[in-house]
Amino acid sequence: MTQVTVWNEFVHEQENETVAEIYPDGIHTTIADALEERGFETRTATLQEAEHGLTEDALDDTDVLTWWGHAAHDQVDDDVVERVKSHVLDGMGLLVLHSGHFSKIFRALMGTTCGLKWREAAEKERLWVVEPGHPIAAGIDDCIELDEAEMYGERFDVPQPDALVFNSWFEGGEVFRSGCCYRRGSGRIFYFRPGHETYPIYHDETIQHVLANAVEWAAPVDDPASSSSGNAEPHEEIDTNDDRSVH
């Protein structure tokens, strides 16, 4: 069974009444429950735990990690970020959610600033499915409509995604690449935009459905390409002596 670790910085829920009302047990609990209901084995981890709950053992037992952060990106320990990154390169899936675009781990894996435009005006968002055959869009209609959302606008400073699954339109006029797939090493990464803490986004069944699809998609697969690096014997008979070699 696919094992999911749901990580949350868990700061707004403990400091802001509006957020605490929507997510009394934290965003992580809502997401973990939704994934559990859809057949995944889940555990949660937060910033406040030792090593942020992301020890080597915890990551060894994780097929897919989901990441929500906003106010405390700089408090995430660099050693933990490095550890998460090496697990991704080794094949662990990673779902980066909403304001996680500015997390250390996402920026490290993208190699860009990951900056974007934003506005908090409780405006309507439509996430258009622009890759209907993609497994992350399975079971989703032409678009997902959210009545109240924070706006994120282009340009989103990320590398060109390997696949773009959702493209958002906002009532105020902006557009945004809301569902971006990447591959780094053997790991699959999906960035999914909705999830501002003052709106009940993660209680939305369709959003939960997309998260479940994305977990399924990002789960590690046997990858022959990743196990075939290193010094190689030639396939044809050649002179392998080269005086210039320094190895």
Going by C-beta distance under 8 Å and a sequence separation of 6 or more, which residues neighbour residue 146? 124, 125, 126, 127, 194, 199, 201, 204, 207
Interaction between residue 12 and Zn ion (CB under 5 A): no
Which of 9, 13, 63, 150 lies at the binding interface for Zn ion (CB under 5 A)?
150
As measured in angstroms, the least distance from the Cβ of 196 to Zn ion is: 4
Question: Which x/- pattern over 65-104 shows residues binding Zn ion (rule: CB under 5 A)?
Answer: ----------------------------------x-----
Q: Using an 8 Å Cβ cutoff, are 101 and 191 in contact?
A: yes
Residue range at the interface with Zn ion (CB under 5 A); choices 79-87, 124-132, 144-152, 233-241: 144-152
DSSP E strands in 30-162: the ranges are 41-46, 64-68, 93-97, 117-129, 143-153
Q: Residues 14 to 73: which contact Zn ion by CB under 5 A?
A: none
Q: Using an 8 Å Cβ cutoff, are 210 and 140 in contact?
A: yes
As measured in angstroms, the least distance from the Cβ of 152 to Zn ion is: 8
In this chain, which residue has its C-beta nearest to Zn ion?
196
* Residue 174: strand, helix, or coil: coil
Indicate the residue among 154 and 162 with the shorter CB distance to Zn ion: 154
| Dihedral angle over CA of 154, 158, 161, 166, nearest 10 | -30
User: What letter would DSSP give residue 11?
Assistant: -
As measured in angstroms, the least distance from the Cβ of 132 to Zn ion is: 27
Residue 147 dihedral angles phi and psi, to the nearest 5°: -70, -35
Which of 196, 204, 211, 218 lies at the binding interface for Zn ion (CB under 5 A)?
196
Residue range at the interface with Zn ion (CB under 5 A); choices 19-27, 148-156, 173-181, 231-239: 148-156
As measured in angstroms, the least distance from the Cβ of 205 to Zn ion is: 21
- Strands 175-184 vs 163-170: parallel, antiparallel or unpaired: antiparallel
As measured in angstroms, the least distance from the Cβ of 202 to Zn ion is: 12
As measured in angstroms, the least distance from the Cβ of 150 to Zn ion is: 5
As measured in angstroms, the least distance from the Cβ of 55 to Zn ion is: 28
Interaction between residue 174 and Zn ion (CB under 5 A): no
User: 115, 122, 169: which is closest to 145 by C-alpha?
Assistant: 169
Interaction between residue 13 and Zn ion (CB under 5 A): no
Burial class (CB in 10 A: 0-12, 13-18, 19+), 16: middle
Q: Using an 8 Å Cβ cutoff, are 187 and 108 in contact?
A: no
Indicate the residue among 71 and 164 with the shorter CB distance to Zn ion: 71
Question: Contact residues for Zn ion (CB under 5 A)?
Answer: 99, 150, 196
